[in-house]
A = this chain, B = another copy of it.
Amino acid sequence: MSNKFEIDPLLDFDLLKKLVVGIGEVSDITGVPTRKIRYWEEKGIIESEKEGEGTTRRYNYLNIKKILLIQELIEEGFTLDAAAKKVEDRMKNINEVFLKLANSASNKKEVE
């Protein structure tokens, strides 16, 4: 029915959830300067997880994925805003799938 069994061994969501990095690493990974990342966040285009007031930004898999997608569209010739809007739509699907997989993975663990 699903391809759950194929990707299951590859995706450890419990690990993935812990895989959270600072803005510097995001910049290294994506090639987007830190100042630019913050600017995009100011504009409401991307989000980061702040673990409280007066703390530093933290980025998880989905946050970083979004940044990468936006960058791609900009390179394709889209406006920043247009790229943001397009990615917004795509992220809805990605989030959905991600959560679905994450849940089925943790359910499985409970059964074990």
Binding site for B on A (CB under 8 A): 76-79, 81-83, 85-86
Contact = CB atoms under 8 A, between A and B. Distances in A.
Q: How many copies does the complex hold?
A: 2
A88 to B, nearest CB: 12
Contacts of A83: 77
Nearest to A76: B82
12 contacts: A76-B82, A77-B78, A77-B79, A77-B81, A77-B82, A77-B83, A77-B85, A77-B86, A78-B78, A78-B79, A78-B82, A79-B79
A77 B87 CA distance: 13
A99 B76 CA distance: 30
Contacts of A77: 78-79, 81-83, 85-86
A40 B82 CA distance: 22
A76 B76 CA distance: 13
Contacts of A79: 77-79
